């Protein structure tokens, strides 16, 4: 983390000012942000500069995989009414939002993006297959998960998961993921890469729900 005040040159280390044209709030000035990014980019080669902003494209798993492959990323966290427009148009390489709502600043969104990226870096997770099977990784929501005990307050673990039949378990989990996605996020199905087996399972689910 780097304090923008470090890159100011006035006595009071000012990083914001009133907006031209009037209006409420303050706007982060361009000079300290440009100097900070330029300083942090020295000798780094290609650098992705992410501006966290409600106006950015919505962050998703595909973008997370793309960014996780980068060698150097700088996050610009807005505050107040945002940043001077010249930061967005001439400094940031990407403008990213974590959702259609507004926070006080970009620090929490930056942490959200960082965690999503770090878990995709080889060695970050104890089991490398975990990230491959998460929700959105294959275009669908994840299947349900159970652990011991097999029976808890009369609630039973599905017998197929205790059967030891790996093929039946695989099919059950895939069907469960398809069902969850259909019920909760049907919009994802139009973009997911579905196999013939997936389409058959999906048809069975639709018949069950009819």
Distance between CA atoms of 95 and 106, rounded to whole angstroms? Answer: 11
Is position 119 annotated as part of the catalytic site? yes
Question: Which residue among the candidates 31, 66, 107, 134 is catalytic per the annotation?
Answer: 134
Is position 81 annotated as part of the catalytic site? yes
Which 8-state DSSP code applies to residue 121?
A: S
Question: Which residue among the candidates 30, 48, 54, 142 is catalytic per the annotation?
Answer: 54
| 43 alpha carbon, distance to own chain's centre | 28
Segment (H or E) for 166 = helix 166-184
Closest by alpha carbon to 111, among 52, 188, 185?
A: 52
Under 8 Å between Cβ of 78 and 105: yes
Is position 32 annotated as part of the catalytic site? no
| Phi (first) and psi of residue 57, to 5 degrees | -70, 145
Distance between CA atoms of 190 and 79, rounded to whole angstroms? Answer: 36
Question: Which residue among the candidates 119, 173, 180, 185 is catalytic per the annotation?
Answer: 119
Is position 109 annotated as part of the catalytic site? no
Question: Which residue among the candidates 81, 173, 180, 185 is catalytic per the annotation?
Answer: 81
| Phi (first) and psi of residue 142, to 5 degrees | -70, 155
Q: Tell me the HSE value of 166 on the side-chain side, using a 13 A CA sphere.
A: 0
- Residues with a catalytic annotation lie at 54, 81, 119, 134
């Amino acid at each position: 983390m780097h304090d923008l005040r470090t890159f100011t040159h006035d006595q009071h280390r000012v990083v914001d000012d009133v907006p031209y044209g009037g209006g409420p709030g303050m706007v982060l000035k361009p000079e300290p942000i440009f100097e900070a990014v330029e300083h942090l980019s020295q000798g780094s080669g290609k650098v992705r500069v992410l501006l966290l902003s409600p106006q950015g494209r919505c962050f998703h798993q595909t973008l997370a995989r793309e960014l996780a492959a980068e060698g150097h990323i700088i996050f610009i966290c807005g505050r107040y009414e945002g940043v001077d427009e010249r930061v967005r148009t001439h400094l940031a390489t990407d403008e990213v939002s974590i959702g259609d709502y507004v926070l006080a600043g970009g620090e929490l969104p930056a942490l959200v993006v960082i965690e999503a990226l770090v878990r995709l870096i080889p060695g970050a997770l104890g089991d490398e297959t975990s990230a491959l099977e998460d929700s959105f990784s294959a275009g669908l929501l994840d299947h349900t998960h159970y652990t011991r005990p097999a029976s808890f307050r009369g609630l039973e673990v599905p017998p197929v998961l205790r059967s030891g039949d790996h093929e039946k378990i695989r099919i059950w989990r895939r069907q469960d993921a398809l069902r969850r996605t259909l019920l909760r996020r049907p919009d994802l199905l139009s973009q997911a890469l579905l196999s013939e087996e997936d389409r058959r399972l999906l048809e069975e689910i639709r018949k069950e729900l009819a």
